[in-house]
Amino acid sequence: MKVRIDSERCQGHGRCYDLAPELFGEDDEGYGHVLGDGAVPPDGERTARLAVSNCPERAIEIL
Confidence band, pLDDT 50/70/90 cuts, at residue 60: very high
Map out the domains of the chain with their CATH numbers. Answer: 3-62 (3.30.70.20)
Within a 10 A sphere around the Cβ of 44, how many other Cβ atoms? 16
pLDDT digits (tens, 9 = 90+) for 7-32: 999 999 999 999 999 999 999 999 99
Please provide the average confidence, as pLDDT, over all residues in the chain: 97
Q: Is the pTM of this model over 0.95?
A: no
Q: Distance (Å, rounded) from C-alpha 21 to C-alpha 27?
A: 13
The H helix count followed by the E strand count for the chain is 2, 4
Mean pLDDT along residues 49-62: 97
Rounded CA separation 17/23 (Å): 7
Determine the residue type at 56.
Answer: P
